[in-house]
Amino acid sequence: MAGLPIEDRKGILDLLSQIRQRMLTPERLRQYDKDEVFPEDVIRELLGPKIGLQLLFIPEEYGGMGGGARDIAAVSEEMAKICLGVATAFLAIHLGTDPILVGATEAQKEKWLTKLAEGDAIVAYAVTEPEAGSNLSNLKTTASPVLDDQGEVTGYRINGTKQFISNGGYADFLTVLAQTAEGPSFFIVEKSMEGFHPGKPEEKHGIRSSNTAALAFDNVFVPVENLVGGVPGQGLAQANEVFGYTRLMVAAFGLGAGVAALDKVIPFAKERVQFGSPLIEKQGYTHKLILPFVAKLEAARAYIDEVAARIDSGETDLQLEGSLAKLFATEVGNACADAAIQALGGYGYIREYDVEKIKRDVKITTIYEGTSEIQQLIISTFRWREEVKSKGGFYESLAQHMDAVHESHPDVKADTLAGIIRLLSRLFEEAHQAKATRQQHVMFQLATLASVVETGAALLNKMARGDDADPTRAEHLRLCARINTAFCAQTACSIASEILYGSGQWSSAEAKAILETVQFDYGPSQAGLIPDMDQLRTML
């Protein structure tokens, strides 16, 4: 299996902790945020010979460490806990390198990956345009071939503009997606090339310590050696190949930001006394603003770990799973940060307490690398097709696995999740037969339920495997699994009712009959929810 030994990964995480204390203190990060400063010196030091953080994702044969998806997910989570602005700069370097990693010729890899490993080069990924965000069919930037006297292609002239490019104003080289006669293609553009003009930094709501800029390409000549892969028209395939990986990184960002918010809230709740007792002892506070997110973030972490392990084992075509991880983890992280502001009251609105910055920062994770709505479109479309093709077999297999977990662990509500999974499968079947899949809102709701179900199953799997030998940690996971499944049931009940009763496709009698045929009883799914949260609260 690909990746670093666990001790090496822990060593990198320890190094990040040292970097945080020395270079990225809360005071310094608040100043970067206030002044909207891109800390170029810090970023280059992170990439330099003493630290070399970029070595994590560069293969060993080009001077890197050869880290795997689990390593990068763990580091991404940790960096997001420090500062999402700085983490975004790291993400952009990874993104900018990805087309080279997956599609470049051996000579290109040797040149550019070695250059990145041996220096402190900042890289950018230039794909987004004013009229081409998630929909790259609207790509307007062009790359026209330049021919020599014998009619051989010697290079390309790139013309066009890019928008919202992270690291765009500071990148030493960029991978740029441009339209050729054969289709979209990636080119490596160096900042020194004539005609390349980065624009002024964008003034942003959050991640203000990252650099985001528009880029202009005015007849930029790029030698043919800089066409990634050496064959034009391969750009979309190269971009799609890395989505499962890069969206998993953004999912880890959402997770890390959510954890960072809880790390601010929980100590505050223990120390803040109101009406004679600490806030941590008040159900109305903890059961609304803290504990649901503790459980949901554990589900996000379990699913991210599961998908990362599949990538490291050599499994391919996991774009959908990357989308699902991103949708769930970033939406939960965003909601957790919002709740953190409420949990701190007036202090949550003050810069010194950091949670308002976390909230401003984490919002971007639901937008970049594909909005939540794009992820819902991807998830619903592909899971619908998979359910139809397998005649319900995909989700039935997952439900049967939850049945098996229930047999070995009857007290964790795996049987409840099995029922929810079968409900989701039935909803896909009924929506397909009634052509309700033509309603985008129905499809988006199915995607939301799919994300809740599949992450919930990952948490139950993790708990059942007994990955944590520590009894306290094991009990923490057990409680989180029970609590999260109860929330899954609430979501399932709401979405099923909205689709069956609210879409106009079925009569009330038909909707009721469909629900009665599914082996899912909502009432028992909530059994013990409040006592479970009471117990989890004592473990914080």
Residue 65's nearest CA partner among 144, 11, 125 is 11
Query: Token pair for residue 471?
Result: 């009894």
**Phi (first) and psi of residue 391, to 5 degrees:** 55, 45
Are 402 and 481 within 8 A, CB to CB? Answer: no
Residues sharing a CB contact under 8 Å with residue 465, sequence separation 6 or more, in sequence order: none
Could you give the CA distance from residue 193 to residue 222 in angstroms, rounded to a whole number?
8
Could you give the CA distance from residue 423 to residue 426 in angstroms, rounded to a whole number?
5
At residue 506, the 3 state secondary structure works out as coil
- CB count, 10 Å around CB of 390? 13
At residue 516, the 3 state secondary structure works out as helix
Query: Which region, left, alpha or beta, applies to residue 533 given φ > 0 means left and ψ of -120 to 50 means alpha?
Result: alpha
Residues sharing a CB contact under 8 Å with residue 295, sequence separation 6 or more, in sequence order: 479, 480, 481, 483, 484, 487, 536
- CB count, 10 Å around CB of 273? 10
Residue 522's nearest CA partner among 383, 417, 443 is 417
Query: Token pair for residue 385?
Result: 């097709």
> From the DSSP assignment, how many helices (H) and strands (E) are in the chain?
19, 9
Residues sharing a CB contact under 8 Å with residue 45, sequence separation 6 or more, in sequence order: 23, 51, 120
Are 358 and 261 within 8 A, CB to CB? Answer: yes
Could you give the CA distance from residue 540 to residue 530 in angstroms, rounded to a whole number?
16
Query: Token pair for residue 441?
Result: 């809102």
Which positions are catalytic?
369
Could you give the CA distance from residue 271 to residue 267 in angstroms, rounded to a whole number?
6
